Structure 1
Amino acid sequence: MNRHVAWAALAATFTASAAFAAETAPMDVKFDDAGGVEASLTGQPGDPSKGAEVASTKSLGNCVSCHVVSALDASFQGNIGPELNGAGDRWSEAQLRGIVIDAKHTFEGTVMPGMYKTGPFIRPGDGYTGKAAPADLPPILNAQQVEDVVAFLMTLKEE
């Protein structure tokens, strides 16, 4: 193999692994005083169309089970959380990222689950329910799905 080709292959491998290493783990997310998260979790831009899919799919984020989002064609839209129409005008990208990751940093009493959180959780335990979750739970969304949802929310402007 040519030395130049070998160096190019090594550089491509290093670049790919550096991009993968750039993903922020749930417990390493840094919130600002207002609950926002400035830095992308992946270093990659979000895809609004994939974010819309996450927001409207029951087995993914299922945002529409609690929020009205007129831009989504969902048979049921909840009214537990605030309406998300115009979210891209009401909140900055950093604020939306923080809310999606763990809304309790912005809205202390919210019932919204942390979508990119692995703990700590308050659990009633086996003594109360008989069905306690294991000690460590995976996040509901992965880092790229969070970025996709944020990109989708940023498209929701006031009419």
Structure 2
Amino acid sequence: MYKNILNLLPYKSSFRFVDHISSLDADGVVGEYTLRPDAFFYEDHFEGNPVTPGVIVTEIMAQIGLVVLGIFLLLHDNDINFGDDELMFPLLTSTDVSFYKMVLPGQRVVVKSQKQYFRFGKLKCYVEMLDENNELVAKGTFAGIIKNAGLKK
């Protein structure tokens, strides 16, 4: 349903942390990601007892909660006109994240984001990550801009 948004994400292969978008509108997004047990970051974090690094948890929250929503908002902003062959790049400008639970290999997480504001090219969101039991894993505020890079695909 939101395949066009997924196709616009600038992340590929091992660094794309969005599997599915279940809800998306001008006020927020809900998406899911299942952590692959063979992901590159588990090999040494921690040997024999893999745990998802906090920076990866933050990246999952940013990709779903800020970048997906930001691309959607840009596509629906009549004042911005990106051509189909132009590249957009997300620029995360700030985060404030609190962690409550570990995320383990193979675990599915749900990210819920609520837009706080989108003005002057800047998007700020309140983002939560929940585990399969609907328990809070992490929450925080994310801000950033998504700009046309001036480059062609």
Question: TM-score normalised to the size of structure 1?
Answer: 0.24
Higher strand share: 2
Higher helix share: 1
Question: TM-score normalised to the size of structure 2?
Answer: 0.24
Bigger Rg over Cα:
1
